[in-house]
Amino acid sequence: MFGLNTKDTRLLILVAILVVLAPFILNPFPENSAMAQFNAGYPDLMQRFVIFGIFAIGFNILFGLTGYLSFGHAAFLGVGSYAAIWMMKLLTMNVVPAIILSVVFAGLFSLLVGWISLRRSGIYFSILTLAFAQMSYSLAYSVLTPITGGETGLQPKLNDPRILDGALAEGATPKANLFGLEMGASYELGIGGWLFTLNAGYYIAGVLMLASFYLAIRIFRSPFGMMLRAVKSNQQRMNYTGLNSKPYTLAAFVISGMYAGLAGGLMVAMDTQAGPERMFWTVGGEVVLMTILGGAGTLIGPVLGAGMIKYMENIISKINSKILHEWFAFMPDGVEDFIVNILYPFIGKGWHLTLGLIFMAVVIFLPGGLVEGGQRIARLFGRGKKASEKDASGKTTPAE
């Protein structure tokens, strides 16, 4: 179906079902139960899942296929954001031009950065991209303040030109919309003790994520995708086989930059603001972590990695010592305090510590990421039945 083979079609349909049902799947606990803080089915977080999913899918086309490790993709996310916010200030609060322009501008900027950075490979390439990202951040933070709003960033204001929209009433706030459907519009569905939120912005981002995912599958299965894997495998053989590896890597770089721009544009569509912190190098580092954690070079891995990191960032960081005390209240007081004291550094603001440990464990024991973990579990259960069948997400190759 859709020009894909059976396994890929199955994977695409599975991801589509997960995206559609996410508000339900991610809210497994009733609203007033003690476990409700583990619910992730609120719009803000679900939007971040799919947006960072897009970012990671695109990054994987560069890093997973060609092996070129860029630390500078935050710059393209930022450029996409600024392009989108300017469309909202100048043209219309409708998200369509904002999203299109964010992809275009990020693509142009990544063409420039890629053209220069790809003169080197390996660690030198990584350093060049990092340098570009930090320069972009500095420019956005201070030098280009008239365009970027400096430290405070940009937001749509009441008196922006917005030539396509009618004038807003005094005191109204401009809201991002898709032909009138507001991104913030939600339908709340209460069933028993459960409360599910179906949010327009989330589903729009979700549809774009599915389209991005579909395109990524097509690229993975295309001759172009095979050439990108050839770049990673043996550039010398490639060149002596009559193929010019340079335009291939540059094309992969620009495609991944456009994915990052789309993610940046969607962020603006959801929260209608853009600031320089989106260009900070840690954002570029985060997408590297997502891709490796999920499984670089696999189709579904980056999405899983993005989901996992965003879940931990939002949920584990919410747990505080009071909640820990509640959980271990059944224990004798001394033991309870002892356990809470041990766990305390790993929760709340210490969630990075937990992430670090999980990341180390994955890199050491599962070099193919979460996808490899899934494959091993699948093999344990369906040994005889599926012995010859490989996992739907394709080959796992450990990240370098």
Tell me if residue 366 falls in helix, strand or coil: coil
| Binding stretches for another protein (CB under 8 A) | 3-5, 218-219, 221-227, 229-230, 232-234, 236-244, 247-248, 251, 255, 397
Query: What is the nearest approach in angstroms of another protein to the Cβ of residue 218?
Result: 5
Query: What is the nearest approach in angstroms of another protein to the Cβ of residue 130?
Result: 26
- Nearer of residues 379 and 390 to another protein, judged by Cβ: 390
Query: What is the nearest approach in angstroms of another protein to the Cβ of residue 246?
Result: 8
Query: What is the nearest approach in angstroms of another protein to the Cβ of residue 146?
Result: 37
Tell me if residue 111 falls in helix, strand or coil: helix
- Nearer of residues 29 and 224 to another protein, judged by Cβ: 224
Query: What is the nearest approach in angstroms of another protein to the Cβ of residue 12?
Result: 14
Question: The tokens of 101 are what?
Answer: 């322009």
Contact assessment for residue 60 and residue 259, using Cβ atoms and an 8 Å cutoff: no
- Nearer of residues 152 and 234 to another protein, judged by Cβ: 234
Name residue, tokens 């569905």: 189
Query: What is the nearest approach in angstroms of another protein to the Cβ of residue 240?
Result: 5
β-bridge partners, 319: none
Using the 8-state DSSP alphabet, how is residue 65 labeled?
I
Question: The tokens of 237 are what?
Answer: 């053989």
Tell me if residue 95 falls in helix, strand or coil: helix
- Nearer of residues 216 and 319 to another protein, judged by Cβ: 216
- Nearer of residues 4 and 315 to another protein, judged by Cβ: 4
- Nearer of residues 252 and 288 to another protein, judged by Cβ: 252
Rg (Cα) of the chain, in Å, rounded? 22
Contact assessment for residue 198 and residue 187, using Cβ atoms and an 8 Å cutoff: yes
Name residue, tokens 């994520």: 209
- Nearer of residues 239 and 320 to another protein, judged by Cβ: 239
Query: What is the nearest approach in angstroms of another protein to the Cβ of residue 234?
Result: 5
β-bridge partners, 154: 274
Name residue, tokens 């589509």: 16
Task: For residue 379, count other CB atoms closer than 10 A to its CB.
Answer: 12
342 CB burial (10 A radius; 0-12, 13-18, 19+) = exposed
What is the distance of C-alpha 79 from the center of its chain?
A: 16
